[in-house]
C-alpha cells in the first residue's frame, strides 16, 4: 500500500505523513516514510528544479515507493506531486493506493514561508503552476481544522482495511 500525500510547500505534508507513520508503527505495522525533500537531499541531489528534473525526481520517488511496497511495507510518501499523469499511473502501479491532497491557501503559505522556499525561484505554486491533484481520495482543507481532524480519522480507517 502506498499513501501519497500531495500539497504545496509548507502545507503540512511531512507533518501528516509522520503522524500517520507513528500511528501505523504504534500498531506494529511494517511502514516506511518517504519524504520528497529527503529523497532530493540524499538520492536525487544532482537534480535541479526544472520541469524535466522534477519529472525525473517524481519517477525516482515512485520507483522507490514501488520497491518498498514490493518488500511488504506500507509506504507513506509526502511529495509536491505536480504531474497528474504520474498520479494516474500510481493507481496502476501500486497494489493499493490512497491519495491525500492537503489544500492550502497559497497567500498564507507565502506569508508564513516556514522553509524559506517562497523567496526562491522556480517555486511550485508561485512560479510553476500547481494543478489540482487528479482524483484524490481525501482532500484536507487546512483552513478547516475540525474537518481536517475528521478526515484524518477516516484516512486511518481506510488504511486499516
* Pairwise CA distance, residues 102 & 7, whole Å: 5
What is the reported pLDDT for 127?
87
What is the reported pLDDT for 141?
85
Query: Nearest 5°: phi and psi at 31?
Result: -135, 160
User: Is residue 54 within a helix (H) or strand (E), and if so which, with residue range?
Assistant: helix 51-70
Answer yes or no: pTM beyond 0.85.
yes
Fold that domain 2-156 belongs to in CATH: Rossmann fold (3.40.50)
What is the reported pLDDT for 38?
92
What is the reported pLDDT for 65?
98
Instruction: Say which residue the cell 505523513 belongs to.
Output: 17
In order along its 161 residues, the chain shows pLDDT tens digits of 999 999 999 888 999 999 999 999 999 999 999 999 899 899 988 998 888 999 999 999 999 999 999 999 999 999 999 999 999 999 999 999 999 999 988 888 888 877 778 878 878 888 888 999 999 999 988 777 677 777 888 888 888 77
Cα 61–Cα 32–Cα 133 angle in degrees, nearest 5: 45
Amino acid at each position: 500500500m502506498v499513501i501519497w500525500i500531495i500539497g504545496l510547500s509548507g502545507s503540512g505534508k511531512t507533518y501528516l505523513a509522520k503522524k500517520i507513520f507513528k500511528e501505523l508503527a504504534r500498531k506494529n505495522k511494517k511502514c516506511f516514510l518517504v519524504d520528497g525533500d529527503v529523497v532530493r537531499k540524499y538520492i536525487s541531489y544532482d537534480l535541479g528544479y526544472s520541469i524535466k528534473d522534477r519529472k525525473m525526481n517524481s519517477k525516482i520517488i515512485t520507483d522507490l515507493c514501488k520497491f518498498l511496497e514490493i518488500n511488504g511495507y506500507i509506504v507513506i510518501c509526502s511529495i509536491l506531486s505536480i504531474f497528474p499523469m504520474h498520479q494516474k499511473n500510481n493507481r496502476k502501479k501500486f497494489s493499493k493506493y490512497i491519495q491525500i491532497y492537503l489544500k492550502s491557501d497559497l497567500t498564507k503559505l507565502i506569508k508564513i514561508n516556514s522553509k524559506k522556499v517562497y523567496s526562491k525561484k522556480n517555486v511550485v505554486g508561485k512560479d510553476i503552476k500547481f494543478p489540482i491533484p487528479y482524483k484524490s481520495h481525501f482532500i484536507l482543507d487546512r483552513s478547516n481544522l475540525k474537518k481536517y481532524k475528521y478526515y484524518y480519522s477516516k484516512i486511518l480507517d481506510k488504511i486499516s482495511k
